[in-house]
Amino acid sequence: MALQALIGARIFDGTEYHAGAALVLGGGQVAEICAEAAVPNGARITRLAGGLIAPGFVDAQVNGGGGVLLNDAPTATAMQQIADAHAAFGTTSLLPTLISDRPAAVTAAIAAAVQAVAAGQGVAGLHLEGPHLAPARKGTHLPAHLRPMTAADEAELMAAVAALPLLVLTVAPEQVSLAQVARLAAAGAVVCLGHTDCDMATAQRYFAAGARGVTHLFNAMSGLGHRAPGLVGAALDTGTAWGGIIADGTHVDPASLRIALRAKRGPGRLFLVTDAMSLVGTAGKSLTLDGRKIRRESVGGGSRLTLADGTLAGSDLDMASAVRFAAGPLEQGEAEALRMASLFPAQFLRLSDRGHLAPGARADLVYLDAALRLLAVWRGGALFPAAKDLRGR
Nearest one of 133, 245, 128 to 189, comparing CA atoms: 128
β-sheet with 21-26: strand ranges across = 29-35, 21-26, 3-7, 44-47
Q: What are phi and psi of 376, to 5 degrees?
A: -160, 160
Find the distance separating the first CA and the last CA of the chain, reported in whole Å. 40
**Contact assessment for residue 23 and residue 30, using Cβ atoms and an 8 Å cutoff:** yes
Q: Is 275 a catalytic residue?
A: yes
Q: Quote the CA–CA distance of 77 and 366 in Å, as a whole number.
A: 24
Residue 353: CB atoms within 10 Å: 14
Q: Which of 59, 101, 275, 364 is catalytic?
A: 275
Helices (H) and strands (E) in the chain, counts: 10, 23
**Rg (alpha carbons) of the chain, rounded to whole number:** 20
**Contact assessment for residue 317 and residue 246, using Cβ atoms and an 8 Å cutoff:** yes
Residue positions annotated with a catalytic role: 275
